[in-house]
Structure 1
Amino acid sequence: MLQIAVIGAGVFGKNHIRIYRELPGVHLAAVVDPAVTLEDTPVFASVDELLASGIPIDCASVCVPTVAHAQVASQLLRAGIDCLIEKPFAASLAEADQVLALAGQYGRIVQIGHLERFNPAVTATMPILTKPMFFESHRLSVFTPRSLDVDVVLDLMIHDLDIVLTMVNAPVTEVRAVGLPVLSPKVDIANVRLEFATGCVANFTASRVSTERVRKLRYFQPRQYVSLDFARQDLLVIDVADPAAAIAAFTQGAGLQHPSAGLSLRKLPVENGEPLKLEIESFLTSVQTRQEPRVTGQQGRAALELALEINQMIAQHAERAGLL
């Protein structure tokens, strides 16, 4: 039975605690958070106290604020403990590299918590991926005081950056970005345009000051349009079998699903599930088998690097626009 620790019992850490308690074959052996009291689990004020207690720990979820990710993960890795680190990976690339070096030195598993990669709709779309050439992403949330230690790019948009980087699997050649603080001192709304070496273009909009909650990604590839709803875990696909027939059908007023349209509209089957639970189960499998996790430390670093570059572009745009 794997012995688990959760470091940080805030909003997201509590979800990790809940899931570890639900899963068979694991034991939530400890929680580290100076502000939390639990009846059935030992709680420590610091990682140092946990390590000094002698309680054996196989792996841990690192759910502390981003600024402390590298410090906490480094302590755990040096103690021989595998880590699931919440996104973003770290506060800087230097810190991410420090963690990766320690993981290699001590032969430990490091998985980064890009949980949308485990969303069943994302899993279902990967087999039909061919040559994506255009992405449109919208991730909007109502304002909450959670995660205000980072801006909206590192808080929300980074999920979609990670997914698109994985799908395109090519270097980014151009970044354009604009963003504004609205309710917090950091950027709360941002729009980004990326171009890749393949010629693929991706547009991203992220806001944490919206009046509605939206989690959608659409992409186009030759003769196919795919629409993915993260929240509903829906996947809609439109195939263009005969472009000439489609044009003729629309000219004659036929509907999208008319047999003469040369188009087929279908919903791919998606086996619904909680992404965080699927992410944690995948992490535990990597811990047990010693196989590379689905979201590696290097992939988490790549998403962080792109997010930080976007923030630089936002700052440059703000200076040009006289907003600073």
Structure 2
Amino acid sequence: MAEQPRIKVAVVGAGHFGRFHCDQYSSNPRAELVAVIDADIARAGAVAAEFGGKPGQDYRSLIGRVEAVSIAVPTPYHFEVARELIDAGMHVLIEKPITDKLDDAHHLTRLAEEHKSVLQVGHIERFSSSYRALAKTITQPLYFECYRIAPWKERGIEVDVVLDLMIHDIDIVLGLAGSPVWKVDAVGTPILGKKIDMANARITFESGCVANVTASRVSYKTERRMRVFQRQSYIVCDLAEARIFAYHLRGDPAVLGIGAIATESYDIPKENSLANEIDEFLDCIATGRQPVVDGRAGSEALRVASMINDSIEDHLRRIGAHLPAPA
């Protein structure tokens, strides 16, 4: 059987995440990294020298040169860059969130469907071994408790903490709950920046399942933890450490007492989540199948995030607090 030609790819945005994308493309046998694009040509040149491809400043120069592009520019520029490249017939992997405006997310989704282009959104937790382990264990969830905190960093502060951090857990619970979102109640506040830095949301699904989700980027440590309650079991997943603690009912407590509860603790074999995500993107291009996190899934995560931010703003108005004016 003849070897398939490598897919010509480029990365737009050579910052923190863009560099990781270049690394994965350069080591994936399905891909040929052709170009690295960044507004800072020196940064593009440094990343290209490390991983291959030619540096450039204008993403439009990729039209006709590559088949697929990773977009790792700041979120406010996702729509502009993705729209032009999809319109030119390219396949696009956009770092999360898909955009910062829901109408723009729907526009990109429709455009990709019209052009039969692969549109994948970089919700990287869906490609982690931890998520896969949870997906095999969870059947009828009743309650999620998600906790994602991190120290303050200047990177990512162009968006609020809901779009920066919480959206990971929004996407996870959407993938695991298996039910449409009914309503959202949320609170949050700016702390060190001009946008919301800490938020807590209660997401209620039509099934009756509830997710209590907390995110903060003002912490002395990094923690990513999820607790899941369902009939006859309780599961704790440390997403950062790839470890699961679980309690399962295996008999009648009235007869067996504490012996009716089985406990287990195990480490999940770690995988490179970004490598899995990019391999999925390349496979979808090669086979024509839809990504696990396509434009519709990315748009739904953004829709719920928007509901949370609307609820936060409503709460701030009711208590007489206000977000800082833009600089």
- CA drift at 1:94: 1.0
Partner residue, 2:7: 2
Mapped to 1, the partners of 2:255 and 2:35 lie a distance apart of 60
Q: Mark the runs of 5 or more structure 1 residues left unpaired by the alignment.
A: 250-260
Give 1:161's aligned amino acid. Answer: I
Q: CA RMSD in A?
A: 1.5
Q: Say which of 159, 173, 179 aligns to 1:164.
A: 173
Mapped to 2, the partners of 1:130 and 1:101 lie a distance apart of 32
Mapped to 1, the partners of 2:84 and 2:183 lie a distance apart of 37
User: SS state of the match for residue 191, structure 2?
Assistant: coil
**Deviating more after overlay: 42-51 vs 162-171:** 42-51
Q: Say which of 57, 61, 64 aligns to 1:45.
A: 57
Give 2:160's aligned amino acid. Answer: D
Mapped to 1, the partners of 2:31 and 2:182 lie a distance apart of 44
Give 1:114's aligned amino acid. Answer: H
Mapped to 2, the partners of 1:11 and 1:225 lie a distance apart of 36
Partner residue, 2:299: 301
Q: Say which of 77, 82, 91 aligns to 1:82.
A: 91
Partner residue, 1:31: 36
Q: Name the CA shift for 1:217/1:246 in 2 (closer, same or farther; >3 Å).
A: farther
Partner residue, 1:255: none
2:216 aligned with 1:213, yes or no?
no
Identity %: 37
- Once the two structures are superposed, residues 274-324 of structure 1 have per-residue CA deviations (whole angstroms, 9 ceiling, x without a partner) of 111111111111111110101111010000000011000000001111112
Partner residue, 1:322: 320
Q: Name the CA shift for 1:232/1:303 in 2 (closer, same or farther; >3 Å).
A: same
CA contact (8 A) 2:201 2:214 kept: yes
Q: Say which of 155, 179, 182 aligns to 1:146.
A: 155
Q: TM-score, normalised by structure 1?
A: 0.92
- CA drift at 1:44: 1.5
Q: Mark the runs of 5 or more structure 2 residues left unpaired by the alignment.
A: 1-5, 323-327
Q: Name the CA shift for 1:215/1:246 in 2 (closer, same or farther; >3 Å).
A: farther
Give 1:98's aligned amino acid. Answer: H
Partner residue, 2:325: none
Partner residue, 1:67: 76
- Once the two structures are superposed, residues 171-203 of structure 1 have per-residue CA deviations (whole angstroms, 9 ceiling, x without a partner) of 222211000100110000001111111111110
Q: Say which of 261, 268, 272 aligns to 1:263.
A: 261
- How many residue pairs get aligned? The number is 310
User: SS state of the match for residue 149, structure 1?
Assistant: coil
Partner residue, 2:244: 235
Q: Say which of 21, 24, 28 aligns to 1:19.
A: 24
User: SS state of the match for residue 141, structure 2?
Assistant: coil
User: SS state of the match for residue 304, structure 1?
Assistant: helix
Q: Say which of 81, 93, 110 aligns to 2:119.
A: 110
- CA drift at 1:243: 4.9
Q: TM-score, normalised by structure 2?
A: 0.91
